[in-house]
Amino acid sequence: MRPREQALRAGLDALKLDLNDVQVGQLLDYLDLIAKWTQVYNLTAVRDPAEMLTHHLLDSLAVIAPLRRHLAEAGLSRASLLDVGSGAGLPGVVMAICCPEVAVTCVDTVAKKAAFIKQAALALKLPNLTGIHARVETINQPFDVICSRAFASLHDFTQWSAGALAPGGVWLAMKGKHPADEITALPPMAEVFHVEQLQVPGLDAERCIVWMRQKTTV
């Protein structure tokens, strides 16, 4: 087994994530695809293979167990997810690989990044992955989960994507340190119902998920 695959499998063990060999292969092929495209299109600032594994792949994989738990608690055997400002598809492509029952749509305002997602869907044989070149404010089809990673403030993220949130849907924002100031500045229609700390294997940095939903009017 090659060192990179060993490191990935060790990370999956630490995260208690059970993936099959095909999914592990897809994750490694996805890293290769990012590296290849980044040489031409500058998809990501992180170019060191070891850093790409921790900062990109394991960082995104850390959210899979919480996502699966939410879908189970919500009773969703099939779900739709929108990854806003997806860039190179982090975490959207990772979610599509790990959760084949989730229809993942990655949206980005940069055409090359949306094209990369479409190429990734073909190359990795992911029928549940779609790439869209658009502003999130223009999307009005409903999604069960809307996620973002290092995209914008919680205020802007929820405000801009509110039109795409299905009734009963949730926002999942991946953040570093607990964003107390951003939570205070949320628009009136959004509320936090859980802040979940994450441990990313091999990454000595704070990470959390801010779970939000639309306030129900009384």
Secondary structure class of 35 (helix, strand, coil):
helix
Tens of pLDDT, residues 74-116: 999 999 999 999 888 999 999 999 999 999 999 999 999 999 9
Looking at the domain 3-214, which fold is it? Answer: Rossmann fold (3.40.50)
Say whether pLDDT at 218 is over 60.
no
Give mean pLDDT, residues 42-59: 74
HSE of 212 in the Cβ direction (CA atoms, 13 Å)? 31
Buried b / exposed e over 139-173, threshold 16 CB at 10 Å, is: beeebbbbbbbebbebebbbbbbbebbbeebbbbb
Q: Which amino acid is at 56?
A: H
Q: Rounded distance, CA 193 to CA 212, Å? A: 6
Is beta strand 143-149 parallel, antiparallel or unpaired with respect to 165-175? parallel
Distance, CA of 47 to chain centre: 19
- In percent, the amount of the chain with pLDDT more than 70 equals 95
Beta bridge partners of 146: 82, 171
- The first and second tokens of residue 187, run together, are 């628009």
For the range 122-129, what are the long-range contacts, defined as Cβ-Cβ under 8 Å and sequence gap of 24 or more? Answer: 123/29, 123/33, 124/26, 124/29, 124/30, 124/33, 124/93, 124/97, 125/26, 126/26, 126/93, 126/96, 126/97, 128/96, 128/100, 128/101, 128/102, 128/103, 128/104, 129/92, 129/93, 129/96, 129/104
51: confidence class by pLDDT, cuts 50, 70, 90: confident
For the chain, the structural domain boundaries read 3-214
Say whether pLDDT at 165 is over 90.
yes
Report the pLDDT value the prediction gives residue 17, as an integer from 0 to 100.
Answer: 97
Report the pLDDT value the prediction gives residue 47, as an integer from 0 to 100.
Answer: 61
